[in-house]
Amino acid sequence: LAFGVLSLGGLTVLLSLLLQYKNVSYKSFRETETKMSEENRKRCGELRENLTSQELPKEIDVGRLAEDIKKLRTCPWEQDFAVLNRYRTDLNKCSNLTQRLVLTRENAPIGHEIEYEVAEQRVRVEEPLFKLLPRESPFKKAPYKRCAVVGNAGILLNSGCGRRIDQADFVFRCNLPPLNYSKDVGSKTDLVTANPSIIIQKYHGLKESRRLFVERMKVYKDALILMAAFSQSFATEISLAVAYALEDFGSKQKAIFFHPAYLRQLGSLWRSWGVRARRLSSGLMLVSAALELCDSVALYGFWPFSTGLDGEAVLHHYYDNVPPEPGVHAMSSEFVHYLQMHSKGVLQLHVGKCL
């Protein structure tokens, strides 16, 4: 057979050989791929089982935890509706099917006595407070399809997660964070918490800085400002001052208040699940609410450790390095719960860069 010259019969034989080679190669590739898939599924299953079966350690080995998370990142995440619904059933008991997440005119009519979450006191609902409350639950459009709960951990810096966060249908944020890191943290905000302590520290309790406060709130557009107004007595005055400032200056934002009965029962529930703390963090409160209000929940910016996945130094917040008051929250314990819930298919935990 001369090069470049091929008879019809020879061409037929050559094509037949090529097809056989293609079929054998494709079959071999599929068998290898299937084997790798099965091995990966087994490895991921064992990793998830190991993470969910462990009891909460008293001391967390951050290096080992980081290695587990890096391995887990190579595993596909799938939502497990059965496990998610078990969590929701317990959470629904705290919120009365979300009807008691926040105070409204329906669940706190004039004459109703509000029992504080922490302080041993009650306050009677009079007309001025009643008028500040929403007529009904502000979450009537729930369930939201995809939600993002954004913490403020320094691990968000250089994560590139902003675009993914902003693609969510509803975005929760904690404690009035700055949004001038939008590439990493996004900018969309549907609800943001405001700790009374932040209002005192940054705005002197709104005794002199009302206009400045309202101007700075514009970055959150028409987001709901959620406060725990009836946890401690000092928080009530600050929270009402926020509500009146927003109202007086015609702000797009509306202040709403956690129902203290919800927070009390939520604290008891998480204690029964192993979170031992004087008080739940704002992040855990929002994660709990999101699990009830959303079809699927993704977490960003939750990482309470001073070193990252590769041992690098990490700021406490993406905008500063001020640590929390010691002994108030159990951030490490909360994070381990998030990791376990990710492994169970309850929520999706993003740590590090968004790929």
- The set of catalytic residues is 329
CB 104 within 8 Å of CB 133: yes
- Residues 6+ positions from 132 with CB-CB distance below 8 Å: 240, 243, 244, 247, 255
Q: Characterize 162-184 residue by residue with b for buried, 16 or more Cβ atoms within 10 angstroms of its Cβ, and e for exposed.
A: bebbeebbbbbbbbbbebebeeb
What is the Cβ-side half-sphere exposure of residue 61, based on CA atoms within 13 angstroms? Answer: 5
Look at residue 149 and give its three-state secondary structure.
strand
Distance, C-alpha 150 to centroid of its chain: 5
CA distances to 15, 23, 30, 33, 233 from 27, rounded to whole Å, are 18, 6, 5, 10, 71
Cα(24)–Cα(240) distance, integer angstroms:
74
CA dihedral for 172, 249, 247, 138, sign (positive or negative): negative
User: Cα separations (Å) of 85 from 178, 269, 295?
Assistant: 34, 16, 10
**What six digits make up the tokens of 61?**
């080995």
For the sheet with 348-349, list strands across it: 254-257, 224-227, 191-193, 170-173, 144-150, 294-300, 348-349
In the numeric block, which tokens belong to residue 273? 């699940």
The helix (run of H) or strand (run of E) holding residue 290 is helix 282-293
Name every residue whose Cβ is closer than 8 Å to that of residue 218 and which is 6 or more positions away in sequence. 251, 252
